Structure formats: structure tokens, C-alpha cells
Amino acid sequence: MHHSQDPKNFTGGYTVSKRIITYAQAINEALRQEMERDSSVFVYGLDVADHKGINGTTSGLAEKFPGRCLSTPLSEEALMGFGLGAAINGLRPVNVHIRVEFLLVAFNQLVNMLASARYGSNGKLSVPIVIRVLIGRGWGQGFQHSKSLQSIFAHIPGLKVIMPATPYDAKGMLIAAIRDDNPVICMEHRFLFWQEGEVPFEPYTVPLGKCSILRSGSDVTIVASSWSCVDALDAAKVLERKHNILAELINVRTIAPFDDATVNQSVRKTGHCIVVDSDWTHCGFSAEVAARVQEDCFGSLRSPVTRIGFAPTHCPTTRPMEDLYYPNAETIIRVTEKKLGLKPADLSDEKFHNYENKFKGPF
Amino acid sequence: MQKDLELELYQSMYRMRAAERAIQQEYPNNQMKTPMHMSIGEEGIVAGICTALKEKAKFYGTYRSHALYLAVTEETDGFFAELYGKVTGPAGGKAGSMHLASPDHNLIMTSAVVGTTIPVAVGGAFREKYMNTDKIAVVFFGDGAVDEGVFWESLNLACLWKLPVLFVCEDNGLAIHTPTSVRRGYDSLGKIARQYNCLVYDSFEQTDVLTIHAMAKKAYAEIQRFRMPALAIIPYYRYLEHVGVNEDFDVGYRSCDEFEQWLAKDPIALLRRRLINQNQENAVVSIEDAVNKQIFISVQKAKDAPFPRPEELYRGVYGE
């Protein structure tokens, strides 16, 4: 008997409920289990079958599933249309882009074709495709390797946009995305890949279009996306310790469709709302959140909604300026202090998570 | 058999021509509120290929979709309903002239952005190979689409992965009003395509539907036999303006003489003459009468059909 050889019995040395794996492993497991479950699922994109396996997220798939994990030519536009053709004919493609900037090359297909294929056929065509795209900064990635752009994709009817921020969400939302009959863009921040968290071994889904509450609180609502959840969590801990302020931290999870009900319910309780979005603010997702909160919670708001995002410029490579470009936990603390009329706390001894001081989690 | 095929092809092409003549008559009434990119002149290409590959292929096309739709579906009720924006159209009026399609008939998609259905067909062909079927994907596009990078990306991908797709370049020598001579830094598309691992069919000197039909049969067999994609480059002449239902020889970018040379080998007239010479006049006339009657009824039905209800505006953006 060699049960330990059977991947179905692999638990990483933990009991199933306590098993800790990384965000990257959670994605890899989601892909592997979905490919096992459904032979119409296949993965393709530049370098998905190479030795690095997209930070380990596609490692082992090419060997385990011959012909179903395909490295491709550098033809982003054609390959996006290719995925549409495969999807409307009954397959479930997962297309991978190692930078969101590269996905822009396929924007024509994404916006003109994938988004409207169902509508233009009066519902006769179904487009079950997942577009995984890596976003985020690190080590001087500069202005062409550091964008997020979730609001641009979320602007288009017909597309779903998700930003899992924890290993648990990464696996459950990716599985939900693969089983969804719509084009789903899954945006994965590179800083999150080494984060560890509890992830059930068995396949499960986390419903798309539903926020989660990472920390409950009654004094201020902080709505955060992707890596901003880590900054916001760091900030929330300091706010509690230094000011006895309890921030309610909402992990937005899905940009489109947006679960504004959960956010509005929290803001009606706290009366204050800060949106921290890993993106630019102008015409961004943070602007959408602010608009919806003010429409729904106008009478409950005790201060205007505050938005925090990238500086309205391009991302420079040199570290001192890169640090200025990105908001961080300190930005969130200072904004909260100002909003609530608190004296700035001394943060000189605080250590926050960044590229060198990785966030290992769990939340 | 040959006689039956010729009559079938004649019926297919005559249906296209008569339907578009009906559009020309009705369009000035402003009830068909959709930009018309007319197929008149190209009928031989889609009639020949779709008749040959019925049941064996899934089809993809462009905004110049009338003839393709009629070739594949052989029906005019839904066709006119879609042009009139009525709920009885294949897309319930949401698609109009530029997106006529019917996945139920294996006409999967047409598109109004040049070149965009080419990679979609390649993905469709991948599915057929993945599922080990004997179907191929056939995609129609104009010579203008060859200017787009996505054409070359798609051709490369299909050749690399040996996908069963027939690329059909409907070559009318014009991208809107701009001739190939001011768009191309090379002489021959066919010559370049021969450097790729694909089959090339580009020796068409005329518009004869039977030649095109035979090419399609051969292409299907060779795609299956050699496990590689194929490119057909088929010249034709766009009789009317780029968009709209009228001629535009008065504006100066092309001459009426040129048109008359092509008209002399009009695919429908060619086949009609051949059939008459074979003493098929009765069969020809009875096809024409039946098609004309069918179109008259379809136009009436389309006019009488209801528009979609307001709630349809939101239906179909997302699947459940």
C-alpha cells in the first residue's frame, strides 16, 4: 500500500484542516484539481510549461496533463482570441500573463470580442475563460512592469475581475472562476505569492462578487484590494495598539461585480470610510467605491470618503522614488489619524511588510 | 449528381443576390437601422466553400456577413428579422447586419473589428483537435485583415500546433477605399504563406463557384491528411461601396471599366449561363421564383415582428 504516493492523500504533513501552504501553491493546487476534475480545462500562456512555472503556480501541470499546459509564442492578441474560440466551442481555457502590461496587447480581443460574445449572440455563446494576470511591484520593476489597472477591466460589461488576497481566497476563487461561464480576470499581486495560510486540501469555491471582513471594528471602515489588504492590516494593528481605534477591514476580493452591500453596511456602522486600492485613484476602483458609499450612506457618513492609491505619476525604478510612489501602512495610519482628529503616533519602532520584509501571513 | 450540385450552388448564390437586392430596395425606408456591408460580387466564395463543407466545418466571418449567413443557414426569416432589429432575429436584434451569426447552424461568430475572428477560429480548431473530431474551422476575412498583426500571429499558431483551420482571404484588393498597392511592402501573400507549414491555394483566376467548391473539398481532405492548416486566397470584386447599398464609381477611387470586366465573370451569371446551356432553364426559373417568394415573405414577417422588450437590454451580459 502506497497511499502516500497518491496526491489525493497528500496533506503536506498537516491534518487537512490545519494545513498551511503558500498563495502560489494554492493556485497550483486549484489548477491541478480542476484539470483532474474536468478534462476541458487547459492552461496556456508564455512560459507556463517552463522550469519556473510562473512562480510555481503552473509547475508540474505539463508533466501531469500532456497537451493541456502549453507554452505559447509571444502573440498575446491572437492567443486571447484563441482562448475565446476554444471557450465558445466548449473548452475551459486558463490563459496566463506574467505582467498586466502584456495583457494590454490583447486588449482588443478582451474588450471587443470576449466581453460581448455572449451578449452579441443573444446568450447562445458562453465564454468560460480565466485570464490569470500577475501584477505588482518589486525590485525596481518600473513603469512597464508594475501596473494594476483593475478599474480598466472592471469598466467593461461582461468581464469579471477578481483580486484574491489570501491563499484561501486564491484557491477558492480560482476554482470558482474556472467553473464560471464568463470571462474572469484573476489579478494576482506578486508580493502575495509567498504568503502562507490555511487552505483545505479538498476543492472548494469562494463565491465571486462577495467581500470578506478580515478584521471587525466599529470606528472606521477600511476597504482594501489585493496587496493593500496587507498594508491595511499592518495599519489596523497599529491603530488599535496606539490609539485604541478598531478598524473594520474589508477585503474587497472582487472588483466586478462589486459587493457594495457589505461595504455600505460597514460604513453605516462606523461612519467613516477609507478606500485603499492597489492602483491609481483617478477614475479608479477607489472612486467607484467612494461614489457608491456616498450614494448609499450619505446620512451615516461623519467624514468624506478618503481614497488612497498610487501617486498620480509613473512608477519610477529608483527605490527612494518608488517608495514615494506607493502608499503603505504608514500612509493609512496617518490618513486615519487625520480623519479621526488624532495626534500622529510615533511609528519609528514599527516594522511594516515590504519587499524585503515579506508578509508570510496568515491574515 | 453534378447537375444537383450546380442547382444547389445556384440556389445558394441566387438567394444571396436576391436578398441583397431586397435590402437595396428597402433600406431607403430607414427601417433597417444597421450599417450594411454588402456581399454582392463575393457570393461564389461563401457559396462554394460552405456548400462543400456543410456538416464538416464551423464557420467564422466578418462584418460583411450577409452572404456567409445565408450560405450556412439557407434561411431568410431570421436574416431579415435581425436586419430590422426584431426579436425573431438569430440574436434577437442585438447583432444587426455586422454580427449575423447562428451557432446552431455552425456559423459561430462574425465581427466588426477587422481580423478579430481569425484567432477565434484557430481556437475553435484547437478544440476540434483537442476533442479529436473530424471538423475543421473555416474563417473568412478580407485582404485588409492581412495587414493586421493578428493574422500572422494566428497563421503561425495554427501552423505551429498543426490545427485544422482553413483561412479564406476574400481578396477584393481594397481596405475600405485603400488598394493593396499603397498598403503592402511585399508582392505576394501566397509566396510568403508558402514559407509557413501550411497548404496554400491561390491560383484562382476567376470567380467560378464550382472551382471554389472543388478547392474546398480538396482543402478539407488535405488538411486532414497532412495535419496542417490551409490558406486560400480568392479574388473577387466588391460591386458596391464599402458600407451602404449603393455603387460608388463616381467618387474616383476605382473605375467603372474595372467593374465591367468583373461583371463579365459574375459568379451567378456564369453559373446561370452554364445551367441554361444544359437545358436547365425550367429548374433555374423555378429556383428563382421560389427564392423571390420566400424573400418577399421573410421581409413581411420581419416588418411585422415585435421589437425586443426593454428588459432584453440587460439580458446576456453575464451567464448564470
User: Are B95 and A120 an interchain contact pair (Cβ–Cβ within 8 Å)?
Assistant: yes
Closest by Cα among B262, B253, B182 to B270: B262
Calpha distance A181→B12 (Å, rounded): 36
Residues A172 and A241 grouped into a single domain: no
Q: Which residue of A has its CA nearest to B92?
A: A122
Sort A234 into a burial class: Cβ within 10 Å, 0-12 / 13-18 / 19+. buried
pLDDT higher than 90, residue B152: yes
- Among candidate residues A177, A131, A134, the one with its CA nearest the CA of residue A278: A134
d(CA B68, CA A1): 61
In a domain, A363, yes or no: no
In a domain, A206, yes or no: no
Does residue A149 sit in the same domain as residue A240? no
Domain boundaries, chain B: 2-307
Q: Where are any strands of DSSP class E within chain A?
A: 20-22, 41-45, 69-71, 92-97, 130-135, 160-162, 184-189, 196-198, 212-215, 220-224, 247-251, 254-256, 273-280, 306-310
Q: CATH number, domain at A148?
A: 3.40.50.970
Which residue is associated with the grid cell 451557432? B103
Residue B77 CB: number of other CB atoms within 10 A? 19
Residue-level pLDDT at B205 = 78
User: Which residue did the predictor score with more confidence, A250 or A7?
Assistant: A250
- The reply to whether residue B120 touches residue A84, judged by beta carbons under 8 angstroms, is yes
The pLDDT of residue B116 is 98
Q: What is the pLDDT of residue A13?
A: 47
Q: Which of A321, A219, A216, A336 is nearest to A276 (CA)?
A: A336
A48-76 pLDDT, tens digit per residue, is 999 999 999 999 999 999 999 999 999 99
Cβ distance B271 to B12 under 8 Å? no
Point out the domain boundary residue: A137, A168, A198: A198
- Could you tell me if A193 and A227 lie in one domain? no
Cα distances (Å, whole numbers) of residue A34 to A58, A182, B200, B229: 13, 16, 39, 31
Chain A residues inside the 8 Å CB shell of B150: 75, 77-78, 81, 108
For residue A18, the model assigns a pLDDT of 59
pLDDT tens digits, B241-270: 999 999 999 999 999 999 999 999 999 999
pLDDT at A14 > cutoff 60: no
Bond prior to A257 in cis (omega within 30° of 0): yes
A70 shares its domain with A107: yes
Q: Are residues A104 and A149 in the same domain?
A: yes
Chain segment A192-211, per-residue pLDDT in tens: 999 999 999 999 999 999 99
- pLDDT, tens digit, 9 for 90 and up, residues A209-266: 999 999 999 999 999 999 999 999 999 999 999 999 999 999 999 999 999 999 999 9
Per the structure, how many domains does chain A have? 2
A128 and A225 together in one domain:
no
Residue where one domain finishes, among candidates A165, A198, A231: A198
Pair (A121, A267) in one structural domain? no
Cα–Cα distance measured from residue A198 to residue B194, given in angstroms and rounded to the nearest whole number: 55
- CATH number, domain with residue A324: 3.40.50.920
For chain A, percent of residues with pLDDT exceeding 70? 95
Q: Is B300 left (phi over 0), alpha (psi -120 to 50) or beta?
A: alpha
Rounded Cα distance between A308 and A329, Å, is 11
Residues A13 and A162 in one domain: yes
Tell me: do A188 and A216 sit in the same domain. Answer: no
The H-assigned helical ranges of B227-307 are 256-263, 267-277, 281-304
Q: What average pLDDT score do residues B34-55 get?
A: 96
Residue of A nearest to B98 (CA): A120
pLDDT in tens, B52-82: 999 999 999 999 999 999 999 999 999 999 9
Joined together, the cell numbers standing for residue B252 give 474616383
Domain that holds residue A175: 3-198
Residue A9 belongs to a domain: yes
Mutation target among B58, B317, B320 for the A interface, most CBs of A within 10 A: B317
**Topology annotation, domain B2-307:** Rossmann fold (3.40.50)
**Whether the model pTM is above 0.90:** yes
Q: Which chain B residues contact residue A117 at CB under 8 A?
A: 109
Q: Which residues of chain B neighbour A80 with C-beta distances below 8 Å?
A: 119
Q: Of the candidates A26, A57, A10, which has an alpha carbon nearest to the alpha carbon of residue A169?
A: A26
Which pLDDT score is estimated for A6?
42
- Strands A184-189 vs A160-162: parallel, antiparallel or unpaired: parallel
Cα(A228)–Cα(B283) distance, rounded to whole angstroms?
74
Please tell me whether residues A107 and A218 are part of one structural domain.
no
Cβ atoms of residues B263 and B232 within 8 Å: no
What ipTM does the predicted assembly reach? Answer: 0.96
Same domain? For A123 and A233 the reply is: no
Distance CA B163, CA A253 (A): 38
Q: Is position A75 within any domain?
A: yes
Distance of alpha carbon A150 from alpha carbon B77, whole angstroms: 43
A112 to A97, A99, B110, B116, B247: CA distances (angstroms): 19, 21, 12, 8, 30
Residue A131 lies in a domain: yes
Cα B82 from Cα A94, distance rounded (Å): 34
How far apart CA A117 and CA B184 sit, in angstroms, is: 32
CA nearest A149: which of A136, A130, A140, A158? Answer: A136
Model confidence band, residue A5 (pLDDT cutoffs 50, 70, 90): very low
In this complex, which of B101, B117, B127 lies closest to A121 when CB atoms are compared? B101
Pick the closest to residue B19 from B36, B1, B35, B4 (CA basis): B36
Q: Where in the sequence numbering do the catalytic residues of A fall?
A: 145
Say yes or no: A194 and A262 in one domain: no
Q: What is the DSSP letter of B187?
A: S
- What is the crossing angle of helices A260-270 and A285-297, to 10°? 60
Q: Which residues of chain A make contact with B94, given a CB cutoff of 8 A?
A: 119-120, 122
| Residue A356, in any domain of the structure | no
